[in-house]
Amino acid sequence: MSGRSVLLVLGVLVLQTAFVLSCVGAFRDPVPHRIALAVTDPATRIADDTFYQLALLPGEPVDPVRVADEAAALDRIHSREVDGALVLSRSGTADLLLVAGGAGPLLAKELATHVIAAEGHQGRTVRVRDVVPIAPGDKRLLSSFSLVVGWCAGGILCALVLSYGAGRRRPAGLRASAAMGVLLMYSVLAGLLGVLVARTLLDAVPGNFWALWALGSLLVLTVGALTLALYELAGELGIGLALLLVVVLGGPSAGGVYPTELLPAFWRTAGPFLPPGAGLDAVYSIAYFRGAGAGGPWWTLVAWAGGGAAVVLLGGVLATRSRPPAARATHRP
């Protein structure tokens, strides 16, 4: 076994251990943190008491904001500004909690648990109503998560094929441009096939067909361009770095197993800025909220994709110019 093979095996072992550490660290103790909750204000003392009791819960599991009425609360939910809303009764002690299953069923469950407990201390009862129910084929949003995982895997695998297709040479000049062209075409087809399978064939992920197709294509392009860029900068080590960002860190922090509001601080902070987390957040927006709140995730993916493509193409140009004239001449048609 060659020394290079030994190093590669050791690198795989490091990545595997890091993945276990990341998953266990993210999932071992899910605790809600500042779940956004709208609270209607009927201008009563009960409203003030409820608001401040929710705001002062130990550990800040809930982040309440005041809204005028139920209509305003619903508008905040559908625009993804809050994850739920407590509609206080103006005359009785029975209140209504509106939750959005499409933002995460575990998130809705945690929110209901804390709101019901806080209301119980005041002798009030709470009825829960899901105003953004999950599609029948997307139980616990796992179909949406699986779709994003598939797109990310496709981007990495396509980049690996392109990276090693030239006999372990980094893409240079025309090879870099060709690699990005192939990746772009692959991304469009991968995005389309993912939507056809998950939405059309299996009827699992709802939402606008064209928006999901565009998002899937962008996500595959983003992951592929990031992988190619890191390979351009660091060779085989760059492949490991891409796996670290997308799989080891990006997978557990994406919000597919536990919503980001239930993850520890590191994963909760990093998740939305990594491709899997941004992609999944955008899928939720398209599938359940008519695209509301998708702007930030889209720009995150565009930034990753643009930066990765720029590194690949610039690296190819610099590699071409750095070759001796004789070498360049032998490559002319």
Q: Do 103 and 80 form a contact (C-beta atoms < 8 A)?
A: yes
Phi, psi of 293 (to 5 degrees): 80, 5
pLDDT at 329 over 50: no
- pLDDT for residue 224: 97
Domain map (residue ranges) of the chain: 35-130, 137-330
SS3 35: strand
* The pLDDT of residue 168 is above 60: no
pLDDT attached to residue 238: 93
Q: Quick check: 103 pLDDT over 50?
A: yes
Instruction: Round the CA-based radius of gyration of the chain to a whole number and report it.
Output: 24
Tens of pLDDT, residue by residue over 173-213, are 558 888 999 999 999 999 999 999 999 999 999 999 999 99
The number of angstroms, rounded, from the C-alpha of 133 to the middle of its chain's C-alpha atoms is 20
Give the model's confidence band at 322: pLDDT under 50 very low, under 70 low, under 90 confident, else very high.
low
pLDDT in tens, 291-317: 999 999 999 999 999 999 999 999 877
Please give the Cα distance from 227 to 177 (Å, whole number). 15
- Highest averaged pLDDT of the listed ranges 23-32, 48-57, 156-165: 23-32
- Please determine, for residue 139, whether its predicted confidence score (pLDDT) is greater than 60: yes
Indicate the CATH number of 35-130 among 3.30.200, 3.40.190, 3.40.720, 3.40.50. Answer: 3.40.190
Mean pLDDT estimate for the chain: 91
Tokens of 120: 């119980």
pLDDT band of residue 3 (cuts 50, 70, 90) is confident
- Report the C-alpha gap between 78 and 324 in whole angstroms: 60
Return the pLDDT at 169.
52
* Chain Cα centroid distance, residue 31: 19
User: At residue 323, does pLDDT exceed 80?
Assistant: no
Q: If you average pLDDT over residues 31-46, what whole number do you get?
A: 88
User: What is the pTM (predicted TM-score) of this model?
Assistant: 0.92
> What are the CA-CA distances from residue 24 to residues 85, 146, 245, 260 (Å)?
32, 19, 17, 15
pLDDT tier for residue 325 given thresholds of 50, 70 and 90:
low
